[in-house]
Amino acid sequence: MPTTTGGLAPAVEVRGLRKSYGGKAVLDGLDLEVRRGECFALLGPNGAGKTTTIEVLEGVRRRDAGEVAVLGEDPATAGRAWRARIGVVSQGEGAGQALSVRETLDHFARYTSTPRPTDELLAAVGLKEKADTRVGRLSGGQRRRLAVALGVQGRPELVFLDEPTTGMDPVARRQFWQLVRDLRAGGTTVLLTTHYLDEAAELADRVGVIAGGRLVEVAPPAELGAALRREATVRWRDDGGWRAVPTETPAAVLRDLLAAHPHAEVLGLTVTRPDLEDVYLQLVATPGGEPR
């Protein structure tokens, strides 16, 4: 596979990835590239293949076809040294129930050569007050925070975060966002899946939208769906009710509208463009218009 700018291979390179279950294609020739040091967010509806993609990249699920390189190695055959370079936060439960939060972090710290300090991790994921609580007594959101702490404990070069903030309250989500920023600032590459568009917009350098088993678009959040964002809608109210005009030249529509009402206010006048949610829904829509 080709290298990127500066001669460094991307952290993740995927070409023609295919995976089927029961004869149904979940991934149908997916191509993906994640640059070193960036935060890349995968967006897509349930069943689009986000988790399957992550699991193939982590080496825990075998692919049917395609080329995959993660930190320069094929995850399907990579060994223990490669696994020490990645961090994983999956959707499942990863910690035992009997140990306390602190004991759990201290236990798993023994399996990495350069663990982050336990107190630092507890603060980063908002679990300082729960340090001595048994894992089995944590809420679902608190267990999610612990999973995040375990996933980044070994200072990985690349960390996979599969819907990491599911079940977190707003305060915990913000704390997690800061943790991701700190990881990226330290040079860690982050690949996350999320259902939260605000999370992708806040954290990601680039966003990839999966639909139909492929990436339908990749761009920085502010540029996603650029072609869709070009069209604005001018809306106003007149004697006949509400009027709405879609246009790529809203200034011209406004000029004509104001000229037609030189001595009166144009009631309810607004000019809007599609936001990230509007663009996302259009990108994952089927020809019939319903998200898939």
Q: What is the pLDDT of residues 201-252, one digit of tens each?
A: 999 999 999 988 889 899 998 888 877 777 888 898 888 789 888 888 888 8
- Type and span of the H or E element at 234: strand 232-238
- Type and span of the H or E element at 162: strand 158-162
pLDDT-based confidence at 14, cuts 50/70/90?
A: very high
Determine the 3-state secondary structure of 111 from DSSP: coil
**DSSP structural state of residue 9:** P
Q: Tell whether the model's pLDDT for residue 132 goes beyond 80.
A: yes
Closest to 188 measured CA to CA, from 157, 164, 161, 155: 157
| 28: β partners | 18
Q: How far apart are CA 109 and CA 196, in angstroms?
A: 31
Closest to 283 measured CA to CA, from 30, 13, 10, 45: 45
Q: Determine the pLDDT at residue 219.
A: 92
Q: Determine the pLDDT at residue 291.
A: 36
pLDDT digits (tens, 9 = 90+) for 36-80: 999 999 998 888 899 999 999 999 999 999 999 999 999 999 998
Q: Determine the pLDDT at residue 289.
A: 36
Cβ neighbours around 95 below 10 Å, total: 19
pLDDT-based confidence at 1, cuts 50/70/90?
A: low
Q: Which residue has the tokens 């663990």?
A: 115
